[in-house]
């Protein structure tokens, strides 16, 4: 009987040990499953976040194109249709008037001439200042996107130059059409324009360089041909500038 009781106790202990092991194994499996689910959820959230950032950047890019494009062409229409505003408070300045022209082909009317006089500058200046604000947002958003790909907290070179280009554009727009007798101020007006062009090209070139470095990480978000076309475009702009 004692032998039977002893064997029974050993069986109970063995079964209890097996049950504890199974319980621990089950708990570990649940923890591993929860960890895997959290990692999957985090990954999906990161992808969603990046896609949202890219969508916002695309929208900003379109605004950066359309705002100047529309404002310049409105100024052009005012210049060649100045007679419609004759004898009104918006009578077009003589310098800003032009016969019918298509400056994209004949080059007979410059953007400066079409936009720096009254009333065209009422359209052009606010549009350029608005473009500057959108430019700043574009570069900040792009900087944030690159940081999310690299899991970095540092701000990149292109962000600084991009924001600087926006400030130069704003300064140039404010002084456009304002006549100064002091030569140094006239020089600054030209410096602001040249600085805007050089700063923007520098920012774009730096951005392309960073995109190229992480091209494998952004493969699922950007088509390789888009990156190649952007490299060609920036290279042409550098040569022309």
47-77 confidence digits (pLDDT tens): 787 888 889 999 999 999 999 999 999 999 9
Distances (CA, A) of 76 to 106, 120, 127: 14, 8, 14
Cα separation, 171 vs 50, whole angstroms = 33
Q: What is the pLDDT of residue 64?
A: 95
Least confident of 84-93, 130-139, 185-194: 185-194
- Biggest distance spanned by C-alpha atoms of the chain: 124
Top mean pLDDT of 1-5, 119-123, 181-185, 211-215 is at 119-123
pLDDT reading at 201 higher than 60: yes
Q: Which residue has the higher pLDDT, 160 or 240?
A: 160
pTM above 0.85, yes or no: no
Candidates 108, 168, 156; CA nearest to 132 is 168
pLDDT reading at 4 higher than 50: no
Cα separation, 160 vs 168, whole angstroms = 12
State the CB neighbour count (10 A cutoff) for residue 161.
21
* Region 115-140 average pLDDT: 93
Q: Could you tell me the sign of the dihedral formed by the alpha carbons of 133, 138, 139, 145, in that order?
A: positive
Q: What is the pLDDT of residue 169?
A: 94
Structure confidence by residue, pLDDT tens digits, 128-138: 999 999 999 99
Q: What is the pLDDT of residue 3?
A: 45
Q: What is the chain's mean pLDDT, rounded?
A: 81
Candidates 82, 143, 79; CA nearest to 111 is 79
Q: What is the pLDDT of residue 159?
A: 95
Contact indicator for 153, 105 with CB cutoff of 8 Å: no
Cα separation, 106 vs 97, whole angstroms = 16
Q: What is the pLDDT of residue 104?
A: 81
Q: What is the pLDDT of residue 136?
A: 96
């Amino acid at each position: 009987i004692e032998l039977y009781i002893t064997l029974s106790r050993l069986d109970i202990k063995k079964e209890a040990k097996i049950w504890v092991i199974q319980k621990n194994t089950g708990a570990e499996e649940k923890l591993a499953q929860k960890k895997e689910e959290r990692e999957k959820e985090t990954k999906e959230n990161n992808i969603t976040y990046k896609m949202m950032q890219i969508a916002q950047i695309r929208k900003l890019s379109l605004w950066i194109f359309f705002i100047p494009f529309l404002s310049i062409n409105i100024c052009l229409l005012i210049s060649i249709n100045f007679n419609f505003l004759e004898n009104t408070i918006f009578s077009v300045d003589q310098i800003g008037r032009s016969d019918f022209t298509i400056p994209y082909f004949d080059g007979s009317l410059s953007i400066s001439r079409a936009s720096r006089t009254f009333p065209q500058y009422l359209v052009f200046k606010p549009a350029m200042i608005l473009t500057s604000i959108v430019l700043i947002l574009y570069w900040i958003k792009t900087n944030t996107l690159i940081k999310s790909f690299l899991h970095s907290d540092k701000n990149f070179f292109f962000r600084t130059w991009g924001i600087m280009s926006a400030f130069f554009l704003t300064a140039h727009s404010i002084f456009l059409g304002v006549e100064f007798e002091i030569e140094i101020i006239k020089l600054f007006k030209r410096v602001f324009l040249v600085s805007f062009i050089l700063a923007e090209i520098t920012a774009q070139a730096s951005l392309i360089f960073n995109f190229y470095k992480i091209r494998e990480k952004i493969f699922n978000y950007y088509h390789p041909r888009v990156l190649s076309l952007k490299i060609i475009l920036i290279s042409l702009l550098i040569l022309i500038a």
